[in-house]
Chains A and B, each alone.
Chain A
Amino acid sequence: MSRTFPIVVAFVLGVFMAVQFFIPHPRVTGIYNTLLDIKQVVLGCTFMLGVLSLIQFHSRRIRRRHSGAGYSAVALAGLAAMVATALVWGTEQGPYRWMFNHVQAPMQATMFSLLAFFVASAAYRAFRVRNLDASVLLAVGVLVMLGRVTVGSVVSWEWGGETVSLTTVSEWFLHSVNVAAKRGILIGVGLGMIATALRIIVGLERTYLGRD
């Protein structure tokens, strides 16, 4: 029963979700919205599991005096401070909002801004001339980059009675060559998604249940 019930639920809900996509009638969208609400409730409950896991994980590290125990202490203190201030002053104002705006948001922005450095080092490796493929990549990359800045529109020439600039070349690479490859990938991904969904609906794919 513990094996069959989830598969039956997945089948019924999977078929319903596929069918409801084509039915705009409120009787069907009403059920759909109710299911989404149930999902939110389940998600809310699992957040409690998440927080519990977080507390257990970091408490264990502190107890065992793990090398990163100090970070764990800060994580737990941050969790406690955010919960306590949200309960006392609410989430829209007071210390919770201040900590969100002045601690959490800048930390997230810092992580995001690291991307600039990582892009530079990854681009260096990608564009390093090692073989023919890398050389083509480098040449196209340089053309596209030049075409995206002011100099791209200045460097132009006559070709077939029309004025062609580096910007035109850059756009051709982006909108023809690049998009063709991307669409090839996207078609494969779309078919893969449908096949995976079908395998789940008919009960062939059961890894999500924790058993094959």
Chain B
Amino acid sequence: MAAAHWAGPSCAQPGDGAPAAGAPSFRVSVDDSPNDNGSALTLTWSPAEAAAGAVLTVLRETAGEPGFAPVGRVQSGVGTFEDTRGLARDRRYRYRLSWDTAEGVRRTPATGWISPRAQWFDRSRLAVAVAVPAFSLLVLVSILRARRGARSSIRRIQGLEAVDEAIGRATEMGKPILFSPGIDEADQPGTIAGLAILGKVIERAARSGTRTIVPNRDPVVMTVARAIGQEACLVAGRPEFYRDEDIYYATYSQFGYAAAMVGTMVRERPAVNFFMGNFAGEALILAETGYTMGAMQIAGCDADTQLPFFITTCDYTLIGEELYAASAYLSRDPVLLGSLKGQDLAKAILIGLIGVGVLLAIVGIEIGGFLR
């Protein structure tokens, strides 16, 4: 990492504008900002040596464009300033600080010339760079083992066991099923997990001749949901059962969507409501209306802020990771179940590490500094 600094009056170069008489001798250095795309330089100085209590003006000169111009102001006690204003990687810059005193304006000498540089690795994300591949490796090994025939068992998840019961209830009552894939976009893992459940629900409902209504907030999710619905009806052996009008776009407005869902509940009176995906402030409006209408409700959500509402108002709730396990659980595909085993192994390791960390913290040994 390049660094340019002024280490004292002797380093001042001709034409730099050496400090005036009585100027302080505090050291200002400029470095390339770490872990960035080459758009920032960081100035540092010792607050203990700097003019106490002064407001410093940061001045910058670009090579080939003589003259210093202010780029920011900072309290001297802060000791650092990051310049992110319009820096280019192919230009060179130098800095000086100025401040007002009773005797007039004072300045530090200019630092050396420096250019910002882009980094190829963000070292602040080292812990993630180690943990995610390690976890991925565990999952991949578990998947490979499952492919070679290793069997995995999975604990009963009541919310998913109840899916068939819920569909049966709707069939017996002759009423439709209402399914919400949440309010997020199709690139969110929670939405993808919700859509995976949608396929299974439509397939099983189609077999028993029950309609599944799917109002959508996101048009991409709607497009994917339609493709899933079409395929699910085909798999169920009833392609004619698929109707575009059952999987439709409601509105992009969050509470507009809530209103559309509530309206559908009141008009269609579904026997079962599924809320599977990402939800926010509208979660309770949906679930409480469904409860009032007497519908059986199964929810799955990974937002910890909304889970209490679903737990209170729904018959079954998939909590956090259970939502992501749903696809594997419902399909019983051994390879997908293998990935769940890898996930559980990683969780066991994490729990062990947390336990070790707690013990070390209790005895006063700190080893986690490198993770920050």
Which residues of chain A from 161 to 212 have a CB within 8 Å of any chain B CB? 182, 185-189, 191-200, 202, 204-205, 207-212
Residues facing B in A52-98 (CB within 8 A) are 53-54, 56-57, 60, 67-68, 71
Q: Is A49 an interface residue (CB 8 A)?
A: yes
For B324, list chain A residues within 8 Å (CB). 189, 192-193, 195-196
How many residues belonging to B are interface residues under a CB distance threshold of 8 Å? 86
Residue pairs across A and B with Cβ atoms less than 8 A apart, 5 shown, are A46-B219, A108-B253, A108-B256, A114-B285, A122-B312
- Is the CB–CB distance between A198 and B339 below 8 Å? yes
List B208-227 residues whose CB lies under 8 Å from chain A: 216, 219-220, 222-224, 226-227
Inter-chain contact B189/A188, CB cutoff 8 Å: no
Taken residue by residue from 213 to 256, chain B's Cβ proximity to chain A (1 for < 8 Å, 0 otherwise) reads as 00010011011101110110001000000001100111111111
Query: Within 8 Å of chain B (Cβ to Cβ): is A148?
Result: no
Whether A56 contacts B320 in the complex (CB less than 8 A), given A43-B220, A108-B255, A188-B347, comes out as no
A46 touches B288 (CB 8 A): no
CA distance A152 to B332 in the complex (A): 51
A56-B245, A187-B347 as given contacts; A119 in contact with B143, CB under 8 Å: no
Q: Which residue of A lies closest to B38 (CB)?
A: A26
Does the CB pair B122–A210 fall under 8 Å?
Answer: no
B143→A24 contact, CB < 8 A? no
CB pair A195–B331 under 8 Å, yes or no, is: no
Tell me whether B259 and A107 are in contact (CB under 8 A). Answer: yes
The residues in B between 17 and 62 inclusive whose CB is less than 8 angstroms from any CB of A are 35-38
Minimum distance in angstroms from A140 CB to a CB of chain B: 12
Is B114 an interface residue when CB atoms closer than 8 A count as contact? no
Question: In angstroms, how far is the closest chain B Cβ from the Cβ of A39?
Answer: 8
Whether B281 pairs with A207 at a CB distance below 8 angstroms is no
Partner of B285, one of A115, A191, A192, A199: A115
Docked Cα-Cα span, A194 to B139, in Å, equals 9
Chain A residues within an 8 Å CB radius of B135? 191, 194
Query: What is the distance, in angstroms, from A174's C-beta to the closest C-beta of chain B?
Result: 13
Contact assessment for B143 and A204 in the assembled complex, using a CB-CB cutoff below 8 Å:
yes
Interface flag for B148 (CB, 8 Å):
no
Complex partner residue of B36 from A24, A186, A205, CB under 8 angstroms: A24
Q: Which residues of B sit under 8 angstroms from A200, Cβ to Cβ?
A: 192
Q: Is B199 an interface residue (CB 8 A)?
A: yes
Residues of B within 8 A of A18 (CB): 132
B residues touching A (Cβ–Cβ < 8 Å)? 35-38, 89, 118-122, 125, 128-129, 132, 135-136, 139-140, 143, 185-187, 189-190, 192-193, 195-196, 199, 216, 219-220, 222-224, 226-228, 230-231, 235, 244-245, 248-256, 258-259, 263, 267, 281-282, 284-285, 288-289, 302, 304, 307-309, 312-313, 319-321, 323-325, 327, 331, 335-336, 339-340, 342-343, 346-347, 350
Question: CA of A211 to CA of B226 in the docked complex: distance in angstroms?
Answer: 11
List the A side residues contacting B128 at CB < 8 Å: 21-22
Q: Could you say which of B195, B227, B249, B312 contacts A53, with CB atoms under 8 Å apart?
A: B249
Contact B245 A23 (CB under 8 A): no
Chain B residues whose CB sits within 8 angstroms of the CB of A56 once the complex forms: 244-245, 248
Given known A185-B320, A198-B136, A212-B235, contact A47–B186 (CB-CB < 8 A): no
Residues of chain A at interface, number, CB under 8 A: 64
Cβ contact within 8 Å between B37 and A122: no
Find out whether the CB atom of B222 lies under 8 angstroms from the CB atom of A49.
yes
CB distance from A83 to the nearest CB of B (A): 14
Q: Please give, as numbers and ranges, the residues of chain A lying within 8 Å of B255 by CB-CB distance.
A: 107-108, 111-112
Report yes or no: A212 in contact with B199, Cβ–Cβ below 8 A.
yes
A188 touches B321 (CB 8 A): yes
A115 touches B284 (CB 8 A): yes
Q: Is the CB of B249 within 8 A of A198?
A: no
Distance of A153 from chain B, by nearest CB (Å): 26
Any B CB within 8 A of the CB of A126 = yes
Task: Tell me, rounded to whole Å, the shortest Cβ–Cβ distance linking A178 to chain B.
Answer: 10
A46-B220 in contact (CB<8A):
yes
Write the nearest CB–CB distance from B303 to chain A, whole angstroms.
Answer: 9
Q: Indicate whether A202 sits within 8 Å of B143 (C-beta atoms), given known contacts A24-B119, A57-B248, A193-B189.
A: yes
B119 partner residues in chain A, CB cutoff 8 A:
24-25
Contact (Cβ within 8 A) B285 A53: no
Q: Among B244, B267, B281, B288, which residue has its beta carbon within 8 angstroms of that of A121?
A: B288
**B281 in contact with A186 (CB, 8 Å):** no
Candidates B38, B219, B228; contact of A207 at CB < 8 Å? B228
| Residues on A with beta carbons closer than 8 Å to the beta carbon of B325 | 192
Contact for A197 among B189, B307, B323, B350, CB less than 8 A: B189
B224: nearest chain-A partner, CB-CB: A208
Would you call A104 an interface residue if the criterion is a C-beta within 8 Å of the partner chain's C-beta atoms?
A: yes
Q: How far is the CB of A167 from chain B (nearest CB, A)?
A: 22
**Which residues of the other chain, A, contact B186 by a CB distance below 8 angstroms?**
208
The answer to whether A50 touches B219, judged by C-beta atoms less than 8 angstroms apart, is yes
**Chain A residues whose CB sits within 8 angstroms of the CB of B216 once the complex forms:** 50
Interface membership of A42, Cβ < 8 A: yes
Cβ distance A19 to chain B, nearest Cβ, rounded Å: 10
Q: Is the CB of B248 within 8 A of A212?
A: no
With a CB–CB cut-off of 8 A, which chain B residues contact A126? Answer: 308, 312
User: B224, B249, B307 — which one has the most chain A CB atoms within 10 A of its CB?
Assistant: B249
